[in-house]
Structure 1
Amino acid sequence: MTLRALVLSCSLRRSPSPSSSELLGREVLTVLADHDVDGTVIRVADHDVHFGVSADEGPGDAWPAIRARLLDAHILVMATPIWMGQPSSVCKMVLERLDAELTTGTMRGKVATVAVVGNEDGAHHVTAEVLQALNDVGFTIPAAASTYWVGEAMGKVDYKDAGPKPDTTAAATLTLAANAAHLARLLASSPYQ
């Protein structure tokens, strides 16, 4: 069975600007492909997603189309930069939109992971904040569900410009992909009752 993954890239930058969080999300998709998982990336900032906490905030809201892609996926990868020690505002907006799923059960049986990049400490905090919110709306979190890279505090080097990537980030990405694919496959063949 081929599974489907969706990376929601929560970069503050619109395409075609380079994005370190999108790059790490794409690297997760590359490794997921080794586990028979097809994937797609949506850069949320490229779409007119309205603020709110419902599944549809009315005319012109791009969230319903993104939500439809999410409903079709088995695995979600939230890829976010760190800003001031927090997930990006785009990531927080996505989490707010997912608040509509709290009582619907629509995300139940889907697997969620997170990919974090930044030039300051805070990857564990951001991971915890995002995974807890995703768990609240029904996603299942696999073991070792995150990968991250952080540069020197107050530094100017982004992940996309960092040259050779650390083995620790690559190892975390490999583990995330293996565990997420395994869990998603189990949930697809034996759903929650």
Structure 2
Amino acid sequence: MKALILNCTLKPSPEPSNTRALADEVIAALIDHGVDVDVQRVVDLRIPFGVQSDMGTGDEWPAVRAQIVASDILVIATPTWLGQPASVAKVVLERLDAMISETDDAGVPLAYNKVAGVVVTGNEDGAHHVIAEISGALGDIGFTIPGQAWTYWNMGPGPGPTYTETDHGHDWSRSTGRTMAANLVAVATALQHHPIPAPPSDG
């Protein structure tokens, strides 16, 4: 089983990423379940705005898309800014939009039979709103969202330290991340045995 984690931090490498630090807890749990995990820091790639699978010369999204198609599990990890998903995460969702109308040779939408989850960090609140926005969009595209397929961390209302600057709330976020990983693997395994069929034809 394969998983792809898209880290949608605004910080380019090699700057430390709080979002990656929490995502690492989910990654470790997925590996414990025998999952082969790959990670992309999206801001390091040239991914233009758009809603097509390939925007032409220099677009690095097609390689990411190929990883998504080859994976059973997709996790979008994002910081919270102004109570919203990071702009990088929104670009990812817009580029994924093209998959709504893309199918395999049997007519099954490409995102069907793949599961997805969300990791959210931020020293401000709004995590549930971010999770809802991303999960809703992924569901529209065709991904299956298991129950409690998310984990998050925040410091609470107002400014404060970041995830890596405090131990506050880490135990809960780790525990929730382990549950998230287990649920993603359980539903991905179920879909391997009982896949969602192609949508009924209009005829």
TM-score (norm 1): 0.95
Q: Which amino acid aligns with 1:185?
A: T
Contact 2:149 2:183 survives alignment (8 Å): yes
Q: CA deviation at 1:165?
A: 4.7
1:40 Cα shift? Answer: 1.0
- Alpha-carbon contact 2:155-2:168 (below 8 Å) kept: no
Residues 12 and 45 in structure 1, CA contact (< 8 A), matched pair in contact too: yes
Q: 1:149 aligns with which of 142, 149, 153?
A: 153
Secondary structure at the aligned position of 1:102 is classed as: helix
Q: Following TM superposition, by how much is the alpha carbon of 1:44 offset from its aligned partner in structure 2, in angstroms?
A: 0.1
**Which one of 165, 172, 178 corresponds to residue 168 of structure 1?**
172
Does residue 52 (structure 1) correspond to residue 50 (structure 2)? The answer is yes
Matched, 1:36 2:34: yes
Q: Is the 8 A contact 2:25 2:178 kept in 1?
A: no
The answer (yes or no) to whether the contact 1:26–1:41 under 8 Å persists in 2 is no
SS at 1:36 equivalent: coil
Residue equivalent to 1:79: 77
Name segments (4+ residues, structure 1) moved above 4 Å.
Answer: none
Cα distance per residue 1:127-147 (max 9 Å; x no partner): 000000000000000110110
The counterpart of 2:191, out of the listed 164, 187, 193, is 187
How many residues end up aligned between the 2 structures? Answer: 191
**Structure 1: any 5+ residue segments left out of the alignment?**
none
Aligned to 2:100: 102
2:178 and 2:160 map into 1 onto residues whose CA distance is 27
Q: Deviations over 1:135-179 (max 9, x none)?
A: 000000011011000013332311122236532212211110110
C-alpha separation in 2, matches of 1:164 and 1:157: 9
Aligned-residue Cα RMSD (Å) equals: 1.1
Shift in Å at residue 49 of structure 1? 0.4
Distance 1:106 1:27 in 2: 28
SS at match of 2:101: coil
Structure 1 counterpart of 2:201: none
- In terms of mean alpha carbon deviation, does 182-191 or 67-76 score higher? 182-191
Normalised to the residue count of structure 2, the TM-score between the two structures is 0.91
Aligned to 1:76, the other structure's residue is in SS state strand
Kept in 2, the 8 Å contact 1:29–1:38? The answer is: no
Separation of aligned partners in 2, 1:186 and 1:140: 11
Larger Rg: 2
Q: CA deviation at 1:107?
A: 0.7
Give CA-to-partner distance per residue, 1:97-119, whole Å, 9 cap, x none: 01101122111110000000001
Q: Report what 2:200 is aligned to.
A: none
Q: Percent identity?
A: 47
